[in-house]
Amino acid sequence: MKLSDYKYPLPRNLIAKYPLPNRESSKLMVVNRKDESIESKKFTDIIDYFNKGDILVMNDTKVFPARLFGRKEKTNAKIEVILLRELNKEDNIWDVIVEPARKVRIGNKVYFDDGKLMCEIVDNTTSRGRTIRFVTNDDVYKIFERIGYMPLPHYIKRESEELDKERYQTVYAKNVGSVAAPTAGLHFTKKVLSAIEKKGVKIGFVTLHIGLGTFRKVEVEDLSKHKMDSEYFEINESLVNSVNKVIEGKGNVFVVGTSTARALESSVTTEGFLKPNKGWTDKFIFPPYNLKIVDKLITNFHMPESTLLMMICAFSEYDLIMRAYKKAIKENYRFYSYGDAMLIL
């Protein structure tokens, strides 16, 4: 399949700019791979699809306010810095994107928080990418929480607001490190999770820190030539034991989001079981890849020509997913990060 196969027309008014007042109020499209049926439900109906002996696997990464605004030394020019990943915790060295990039060169200093925090540019990585070193004795994450802004995706077309600190975050977020939310998990409330657990379903977590690469455009028509950005993930032994027990017991492995699926599929044994792992993954999942661990997938509606849509089409049938997207557009589903949900059975 080619890049152009993943184009579809989307009216701009269907891109959700804000979350709904209640997380669990969104619609749920249920796509059945066996009988190719497509049904419209409400998100809380998802509870009905779980059975005793199943497991629900989620990504417990936590988004931090990774968008900073500072001033360049001498000129006092306003500089935007988007933190991508921490390279060295001890020395406070980070990969970042800067705007306007033409004004920021190796050796320059940028000051934040009225001069209380400073970073020095130590390397160029791409046209807009830089490696920087923060100079401070304080915990930089605490500083980010105070002065930073949530890094909303570019397609939301608004500045981040106070509500985004809570809503662009799952209720089970734990491990700080993402600059984009695992958005399929935004629909879950503690009430919904409790109802699922009461059915005898195990809930487990992986950690995969999502980078801005999740929004990066694919620029090659031949998908085999596309290179994914690397993202850090961890899968612990406790989750591995739980997942493998479900596989052996013929239960279903429900997976929340493409980031969780990517982590799991990056750590599969030759026998089709999960194994403990941590490190960086640049795994690109697109047709005709066959997902080994995932039985049922909960996801959102993704951008045209995105690697996320390609993964969904690898899990399901391409034609079925495209038919589901057409139905979603016709029925005014809300798309992208703050949009509605899809359950693929």
Q: Which CATH number fits the domain that encloses residue 176?
A: 3.40.1780.10
Q: Is the residue at 158 inside a domain?
A: no
Q: Is the residue at 154 inside a domain?
A: no
The rounded distance, in Å, linking the Cα atoms of 263 and 276 is 11
Is residue 255 within 8 Å of residue 57, measured between CB atoms?
Answer: yes
The rounded distance, in Å, linking the Cα atoms of 95 and 86 is 6
Q: Is the residue at 26 inside a domain?
A: yes
Q: Is the residue at 74 inside a domain?
A: yes
Q: What is the 3-state secondary structure (H, E, C) of 203-219?
A: EEEEEECCCHHHHCCCC
Domain end marker among 106, 122, 148:
148
- Run of H or E including 121: strand 117-124
- Same domain membership, residue 143 and residue 105: yes
pLDDT tier at 209, thresholds 50, 70, 90 = very high
- Same domain membership, residue 192 and residue 81: no
Question: How many Cβ atoms sit within 10 Å of the Cβ of residue 35?
Answer: 7
Domain end marker among 115, 148, 181:
148
Whether residue 319 has pLDDT greater than 90: yes
- Same domain membership, residue 294 and residue 201: yes
Whether residue 126 has pLDDT greater than 90: no
- Same domain membership, residue 185 and residue 53: yes
The H helix count followed by the E strand count for the chain is 7, 17
Q: Is the residue at 201 inside a domain?
A: yes
Q: Is the residue at 24 inside a domain?
A: yes
Q: For the chain, how many structural domains are there in total?
A: 2
Taking only the tens place, the pLDDT of each residue in 80-114 is 999 998 888 889 999 999 999 889 999 999 999 98
Beta strands in the chain (DSSP E): 27-31, 38-42, 55-59, 61-63, 67-72, 78-88, 93-99, 109-112, 117-124, 129-135, 175-178, 202-208, 231-235, 253-256, 277-281, 296-300, 341-344
For the chain, the average pLDDT equals 95
- Same domain membership, residue 37 and residue 130: no
- Same domain membership, residue 250 and residue 118: no
- Same domain membership, residue 100 and residue 56: no
Is residue 97 within 8 Å of residue 55, measured between CB atoms?
Answer: no
pLDDT in the model for residue 289: 96
Is residue 190 within 8 Å of residue 22, measured between CB atoms?
Answer: no
Question: How many Cβ atoms sit within 10 Å of the Cβ of residue 12?
Answer: 8
- Same domain membership, residue 186 and residue 56: yes
Is residue 112 within 8 Å of residue 132, measured between CB atoms?
Answer: no
Which structural domain range is residue 122 located in? 67-148
Q: What is the DSSP string of 240-262?
A: HHHHHHHHHTT--EEEESHHHHH
Supply 183's token pair. Answer: 């958005």
Taking only the tens place, the pLDDT of each residue in 7-47 is 999 999 999 999 999 999 999 999 999 999 999 999 999 99
- Same domain membership, residue 177 and residue 137: no
Please, which residues have CB within 8 angstroms of residue 164's CB and are 6 or more apart in sequence? 150, 152
- Same domain membership, residue 186 and residue 126: no
User: How far is residue 161 from each of residues 124, 194, 284, measured CA to CA in Å?
Assistant: 31, 29, 33
Domain end marker among 148, 176, 205:
148
- Same domain membership, residue 324 and residue 182: yes
* Phi and psi at residue 332, to the nearest 5°: 60, 45
Q: Is the residue at 279 inside a domain?
A: yes
**Within the chain, what is the greatest distance between any pair of CA atoms?**
66
- Run of H or E including 322: helix 318-330
Task: List the alpha helices (DSSP H) in 51-182.
Answer: 140-147, 164-167
Whether residue 137 has pLDDT greater than 90: no
Q: Is the residue at 112 inside a domain?
A: yes
Is residue 87 within 8 Å of residue 94, measured between CB atoms?
Answer: yes
Supply 165's token pair. Answer: 């600190």
Least confident of 11-15, 36-40, 210-214, 235-239: 210-214
CATH code for the domain in which residue 83 is found: 2.40.10.240
pLDDT in the model for residue 215: 78
- Same domain membership, residue 96 and residue 243: no
pLDDT tier at 213, thresholds 50, 70, 90 = confident
